[in-house]
């Protein structure tokens, strides 16, 4: 059998193992990893799933052909207890990984059932079913504390970023360029509604003009090449247009690209956001930087970098942009996903209600204008 992940490709025939159960288990995991990679899944995804299977095996204290549904239930309870309690979406993802592994073992094309029966007199079974795994009941399972920034919070954050750049520059200490870069990255994330990875993987070549606003030069749009992918597909691409409500970001981008970035002597490097060592700013580094800056601005720890994306969607809706335009801007496949991000402010709701009241009651009082 030459199917990726089949027994002959994972377990050598005619070999006597000192620890046969462990050797067979290792071959199962290696075979499953090979099968996952044949689906073009990313290395990080495959590694995380394999690590989970090994973690569950250690927790259950038995190999897959002896797993029971009760092992899954006990494992779930352990994930839900203590200070390290996992989010429902994370637990559901763990359940899915275990279910996929069991499906792989039970698939006759891979021959693991007959191998286990011949070697151990037992066979694996599907231990994840509808009654012991998490169900996806709501569209959004994020923490309730996570929300869009208010306008005041955005102003506080941006004022702190600008003040920090000026303070470091006046002091003469090293770090003014890095502070300017961090400030512009955060403002760009908000003004274009970018995900963390999309932001960090921008190149100078991704800065594009907007034919409707030639005065913006090459800063009227961003070509996102590393959008969120799914099921082993390549990263999705899209072009995000600058909108007039956020035109203040244009001057900041121009200052960074034309004045500040050249001071780092980038040479032939094309990354938009460079460190002092002329390397691309990593996504994890950006998370740490944002947390540090958010704390310095005195804002809640529940406000993450991704909350800026939620703010972008919310504010575009409040500005009156059509839902379809907003969906295209943020790279969602469905408008329902965009709706999850939207959390219009009380001020917007009040203005909308006032407009409706005026429209209805003014029409009733002045029917001749109808």
pLDDT on residue 188 = 97
Mean pLDDT in residue range 96-118: 93
Closest among 117, 308, 103, 316 to 199, alpha carbons compared:
308
Closest among 199, 191, 192 to 290, alpha carbons compared:
199
Residues in the chain: 370
Contacts of 330 (CB under 8 A, 6+ apart): 193, 240, 309, 312, 313, 338, 341
- Provide CATH code, domain 7-120: 1.10.150
Token pair, residue 219, equals 């800063």
At 339, the pLDDT band (50, 70, 90 cuts) reads low
At 212, the pLDDT band (50, 70, 90 cuts) reads confident
Q: pLDDT (tens digit, 9 = 90+) per residue, 266-319? A: 988 999 999 999 999 999 999 999 999 999 999 999 999 999 999 999 899 888
3-state secondary structure at position 290: helix
Mean pLDDT in residue range 182-208: 96
Q: Which percentage of the chain shows pLDDT scores above 70?
A: 82
Integer angstrom CA distances of residue 71 from 108, 126, 307: 24, 12, 37
pLDDT at 155 over 90: yes
Q: What is the mean pLDDT of the chain?
A: 87
Integer angstrom CA distances of residue 51 from 70, 83, 291: 20, 21, 28
Q: Which percentage of the chain shows pLDDT scores above 90?
A: 61
Q: pLDDT (tens digit, 9 = 90+) per residue, 192-202? A: 999 999 999 99
pLDDT on residue 25 = 94
Integer angstrom CA distances of residue 94 from 86, 289, 367: 10, 29, 62
Token pair, residue 59, equals 């927790």
Helix/strand number for the chain, H first, E second:
15, 3
**Exposure pattern of 125-153 as b/e (b: 16+ CB <10 Å)?**
eebbeeeebbeeeeeeeeeeeebbbeeeb
Rounded to two decimals, the pTM is 0.72
**Exposure pattern of 10-19 as b/e (b: 16+ CB <10 Å)?**
bbeeeeeeee
What is the C-alpha to C-alpha distance for residues 280 and 173, in angstroms, rounded to an integer? Answer: 23
Q: In what order do the strands lie in the sheet with 221-224?
A: 207-208, 221-224, 238-241
At 87, the pLDDT band (50, 70, 90 cuts) reads confident
At 342, the pLDDT band (50, 70, 90 cuts) reads low
Check residues 272 and 353 and name the one with the higher pLDDT: 272
pLDDT on residue 40 = 87
The dihedral built from the CA positions of residue 90, 91, 97 and 100, taken in this order, carries a sign that is negative
Check residues 82 and 257 and name the one with the higher pLDDT: 257
pLDDT at 244 over 60: yes
pLDDT at 366 over 50: yes
3-state secondary structure at position 271: strand
State the number of CA atoms in the 13 A half-sphere of 138 facing the CB. 8
The CATH 1.10.150 domain(s) of the chain lie at: 7-120
The CATH 1.10.443.10 domain(s) of the chain lie at: 151-354
Terminal alpha carbon distance of the chain:
77
Q: pLDDT (tens digit, 9 = 90+) per residue, 217-230? A: 999 999 999 988 77
- Provide CATH code, domain 151-354: 1.10.443.10
Mean pLDDT in residue range 345-367: 62
């Amino acid at each position: 059998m030459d199917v990726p992940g089949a027994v002959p490709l994972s377990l050598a025939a005619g070999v006597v193992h000192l620890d046969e159960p462990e050797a067979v288990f290792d071959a199962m995991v290696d075979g499953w990893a090979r099968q996952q990679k044949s689906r073009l899944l990313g290395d990080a995804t495959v590694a995380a799933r394999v690590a989970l299977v090994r973690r569950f095996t250690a927790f259950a204290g038995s190999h897959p052909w002896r797993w029971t549904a009760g092992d899954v239930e006990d494992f779930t309870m352990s994930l839900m207890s203590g200070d390290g309690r996992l989010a429902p979406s994370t637990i559901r993802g763990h359940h899915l990984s275990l279910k996929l592994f069991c499906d792989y073992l039970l698939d006759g094309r891979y021959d693991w059932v007959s191998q286990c029966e011949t070697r151990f007199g037992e066979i694996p079974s599907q231990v994840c079913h509808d009654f012991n795994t998490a169900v996806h009941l709501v569209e959004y399972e994020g923490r309730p504390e996570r929300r869009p920034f208010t306008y005041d919070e955005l102003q506080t954050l941006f004022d702190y970023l600008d003040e920090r750049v000026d303070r470091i520059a006046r002091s003469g200490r090293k770090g003014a360029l890095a502070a300017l870069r961090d400030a512009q990255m955060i403002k760009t994330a908000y003004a274009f509604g970018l995900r963390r990875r999309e932001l960090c993987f921008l190149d100078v070549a991704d800065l594009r003009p907007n034919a409707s606003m030639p005065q913006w030069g090459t800063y009227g749009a961003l070509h996102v090449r590393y959008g969120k992918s799914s099921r082993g597909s390549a990263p999705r691409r899209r072009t995000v247009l600058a909108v007039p409500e956020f035109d203040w970001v244009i001057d900041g981008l121009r200052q960074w690209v034309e004045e500040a970035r050249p001071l780092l002597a980038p040479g032939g490097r094309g990354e938009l956001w460079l460190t002092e060592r002329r390397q691309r700013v990593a996504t994890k580094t950006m998370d740490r930087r944002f947390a540090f800056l958010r704390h310095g601005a005195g804002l809640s720890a529940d406000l993450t970098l991704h909350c800026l994306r939620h703010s972008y969607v919310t504010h575009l809706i409040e500005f009156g942009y059509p839902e379809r335009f907003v969906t295209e801007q943020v790279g969602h496949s469905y408008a329902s996903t965009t709706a999850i991000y939207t959390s219009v402010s009380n001020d917007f709701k009040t203005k909308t209600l006032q407009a409706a009241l005026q429209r209805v009651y003014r029409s009733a009082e002045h029917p001749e204008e109808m």
